[in-house]
Chains A and B, each alone.
Chain A
Amino acid sequence: MEDLKGIWAVGGGKGGVGKSFIASAIGTALARRGARVLLVDADLGGATLHHFLGIKKTAASLSDFFDRGRPLFELITGTPVPGLSLIRGHNATLGAENINYAQKNKFLRHLAKLAREYLVIVDLGAGSSHNIIDTLISADLMAAVIVPEIIAVENMYTFLKNALFRRLAAGLNQIGRQHVLIDTWKNRHGYGIKGFKGLIASLSGRDDEIGARVREEIENFRIHLIVNQARNRQEATVGNAVKSVCRKYFGIDCRYSGYVEHDEFIGRCVNRREIYMESYPASRCAREVERLTDNLLTGRQVSIIS
């Protein structure tokens, strides 16, 4: 477990689906198994990750990185869980989510450096903006959290399409053909392209260089789906369904890695400044987090629940 390094990014598009809880719970589960974990709250609009770790405030936060230019590693603080560290996000500055291109690249560079010493789990926050998507696609493991509701599913598709689009753009940029993607999408009606699948099909059928690159990017694109706040096992099958749509419709390798049932004690723990995974390790929800963590490590999936 000590050898587990790299970046895991937890996003999903919609706010309030429990990205921070999932990130903190997976982080706690991994730290308890002996991994050296660093949680990074990159939710620049609404940083809440520290609440799930029973921490009120920390001396340093990401504000010190973005506003005062301090290096990321200086902002690391401990948590009550041995082996689990945190870089707290920031809420204070208005418009803080609008970091610029240079800041974003510097952030990704610093993250990559930390990922040599830690398993870095990044809580991406809501939305599908460039900064969020670029952090996602730079990760070694990409995870998307949804709840079994139509808005969350819809936002997740947008999130996924943006991520794949950025990946394709980056891939084509490497061979100097990025403009083909932009042009094709802009003039999609002229090309007779319907939807995202049509875009992929059209690009794959272009000259060998573009087609090969597009296919390669799609083959290497893997998203781990997590269903949170399922109220029963029936609702957990939404994960199987979404996974299927991602595979059949977008042609993406989507893995249904786990589901976590709704538990009102999670909210109570936050209010009482307790860590759910430590206070209720035997609860159903905690066991589901453990199984989810196993699946993320091994690549196993939730089988279809009858």
Chain B
Amino acid sequence: MDRERLKPYFDVLEIEPAASLTEVRNAYMLLKEVYSDPESIVTGPLAGEMGEESRRDILERLEEAYHVLLAAFEQSREEPRRRIEKVMADIETFDGPALKRIRERLGVDLNDMALATRIQVQHLINIEEENFSALPVKVYTRGFVANYARHLHLDEKRVVSDYMTRFEAATENNG
């Protein structure tokens, strides 16, 4: 989401461009209430000066800002999913480089992944770089790859099947 470009709309709602969706909603609800009632304790004292026209004008700008920002938030929520779908469409087989590409697109850090999966960073790197000879025996490597796939919410079965086919081919040739 290009928050700098959207700044005028955040300004209308009187919030920082870094505001969350909840903050956007709260600001809109409050300001809409303020300017909808010409007799409130806040608008009442200015009723004579402020005029119907400028009050309506403010309300219109609030609506516009809210809708633009809502759409932007909605789009930004879909962005990572759409990006990943595009990457997935190009993938024929889940090899090391493909897994790496997906992980990077999702913005997942290797160190965070290592912590969550309890797999050493070096093993994760070996999986991605297909250093088959540096990986442990088949049964362990299979477990690592399954864990890797689960962590990225990928189709575990397919990833393990694709990857292990390559692993087995490589290790059998060497052995």
Cβ contacts A220-246/B at 8 Å (1 or 0 each)? 000000000000000001101111110
Interface size classification for chain B? 20 to 34
* Complex alpha-carbon distance, A244 and B23, angstroms: 15
A303 within 8 Å of B (CB atoms): yes
Choose among B46, B51, B54 the residue with the greatest number of A CB atoms under 10 Å from its CB.
B46
- With A153-B45, A157-B46, A249-B50 known as contacts, the answer to whether A241 contacts B26 (CB < 8 A) is no
- Pick from A150, A241, A249: contact of B30, CB below 8 A: A241
A247 within 8 Å of B (CB atoms): yes
In the complex formed, the residue of A with least CB distance to B25 is A306
Judging by beta carbons under 8 Å apart, are B54 and A197 in contact?
yes
B34 within 8 Å of A (CB atoms): yes
Judging by beta carbons under 8 Å apart, are B54 and A249 in contact?
yes
Choose among B14, B44, B48 the residue with the greatest number of A CB atoms under 10 Å from its CB.
B14
* Complex alpha-carbon distance, A196 and B49, angstroms: 8
Judging by beta carbons under 8 Å apart, are B42 and A245 in contact?
yes
B58 within 8 Å of A (CB atoms): yes
Cβ contacts A81-119/B at 8 Å (1 or 0 each)? 000000000000000000000000000000000000000
* A153: chain B residues within 8 A (beta carbon): 41-42, 45
* B45: chain A residues within 8 A (beta carbon): 150, 153-154, 157
A56 within 8 Å of B (CB atoms): no
Chain A nearest CB from B9 CB (Å) reads 14
The B interface, classified by DSSP as helix, strand, loop or mixed, is helix
Chain B nearest CB from A148 CB (Å) reads 7
* B22: chain A residues within 8 A (beta carbon): 306
* Complex alpha-carbon distance, A157 and B46, angstroms: 8
Cβ contacts B1-44/A at 8 Å (1 or 0 each)? 00000000000001100000011011101110010000011111
* A245: chain B residues within 8 A (beta carbon): 34, 42-43, 46
Judging by beta carbons under 8 Å apart, are A242 and B42 in contact?
yes
* A305: chain B residues within 8 A (beta carbon): 26
The A interface, classified by DSSP as helix, strand, loop or mixed, is helix
A33 within 8 Å of B (CB atoms): no
* Complex alpha-carbon distance, A149 and B45, angstroms: 11
* Complex alpha-carbon distance, A157 and B45, angstroms: 8
* Complex alpha-carbon distance, A196 and B54, angstroms: 13
A-B contact count (CB 8 A): 59
Judging by beta carbons under 8 Å apart, are B41 and A248 in contact?
no
Interface size classification for chain A? 20 to 34
- Pick from A197, A238, A244: contact of B31, CB below 8 A: A244
Residues of A9-62 whose CB lies within 8 A of B: none
Chain B nearest CB from A180 CB (Å) reads 21
* Complex alpha-carbon distance, A237 and B26, angstroms: 11
Judging by beta carbons under 8 Å apart, are A304 and B41 in contact?
no
Judging by beta carbons under 8 Å apart, are A150 and B41 in contact?
yes
In the complex formed, the residue of B with least CB distance to A248 is B58
Chain A nearest CB from B26 CB (Å) reads 4
Chain A nearest CB from B37 CB (Å) reads 10
In the complex formed, the residue of A with least CB distance to B43 is A245
* A71: chain B residues within 8 A (beta carbon): none
A186 within 8 Å of B (CB atoms): no
Cβ contacts A164-208/B at 8 Å (1 or 0 each)? 000000000000000000000000000000111100000000000
- With A153-B42, A238-B41, A238-B42 known as contacts, the answer to whether A244 contacts B34 (CB < 8 A) is yes
A binding-site residues for B, Cβ under 8 Å: 148-150, 153-154, 157, 194-197, 237-238, 240-245, 247-249, 303-306
A and B contact pairs by CB, cutoff 8 A, 25 listed: A148-B41, A150-B41, A150-B45, A153-B41, A153-B45, A157-B45, A195-B46, A195-B48, A195-B49, A195-B51, A197-B49, A197-B54, A238-B41, A241-B34, A244-B14, A245-B43, A245-B46, A248-B58, A249-B50, A303-B15, A304-B15, A304-B23, A304-B26, A306-B22, A306-B25
B binding-site residues for A, Cβ under 8 Å: 14-15, 22-23, 25-27, 29-31, 34, 40-46, 48-51, 54, 58
Across the A-B interface, the 7 shortest Cβ-Cβ residue pairs: A195-B49, A154-B45, A150-B41, A241-B42, A306-B26, A241-B34, A304-B26
